[in-house]
Amino acid sequence: GGITVYQGRGVGGGSLVNGGMAVVPKRSYFEEVLPSVDSDAMYNTFFPTANATLGVNNIDESWFESTEYYKFARTGRKTAERSGFQTTFVPNVYDFDYMKLEAAGSATKSALVGEVIYGNNAGKRSLDKTYLAQAAATGKLTVTTLHQVTAVSPAASGGGYTVEMDHIDEQGNVVATKTVTADKVFFAAGSVGTSKLLVAMKAQGHLPNLSGEVGQGWGNNGNIMVGRANHMWDATGAKQSAMPT
């Protein structure tokens, strides 16, 4: 109750619309929150591999200090510091070299025309350009769009699972229904879609062995947005990059 969720859909999922910030957590904090995870493996293998694969990079700070597209951030930083808050730069999966080309007018604008919440069409190393592209290149992956899974249950004969789905058009109308059988099913429909489907499958008896914790403890992703008054004598500028730095 009290939560409204707007769900977009696209090949690449949340990577298409997120702010792209790629911050490796402090190790001490990571180990406190996830004590059962092998932190040596995370910090020696998985975080570095993910950062390399996603092309994590940092904005050129001298460019940040001079470009009109981050005047709003510099104004916000000044306000924060006046209020006693510290600020720091954060790395991102958006290609900041590409952003410089956008600003120079020599590349198709994406971040510099406000593309984030509805997807970045250029500049961001989203999953469709990284992991999914690599997987598709092996010939072992087929991505089938415009399909919505409605039920998952153990297969009637033998092992594996039966997956029922609706084939929809771009307006959400069902144009066909399909059933496939798979040895393994991975739920990767995002926090909302996965929770929604698992709760339904447990309640309807399709997957009765699911933990009673399914659907519990759900919340937002921890972002807190703060609005600030803006004054004419401390302008933020009309041109603004959509990518946080």
pLDDT at 189: 87
Q: Give the amino acid at 139.
A: G
Q: What is the pLDDT of residue 16?
A: 93
According to DSSP, residue 135 is labeled H
Tens digits of residue pLDDT in 87-128: 999 999 999 999 999 999 999 999 999 999 888 999 999 999
**How does pLDDT run across 66-92, given as a tens digit for each residue?**
999 999 999 999 989 999 999 999 999
- Which amino acid appears at position 119 of this protein? G
Tens-place pLDDT, residues 38-56: 999 999 999 999 999 999 9
Q: Quick one: which H or E segment has residue 65?
A: helix 61-66
Reduce the DSSP state of residue 230 to 3 states and report it. Answer: coil
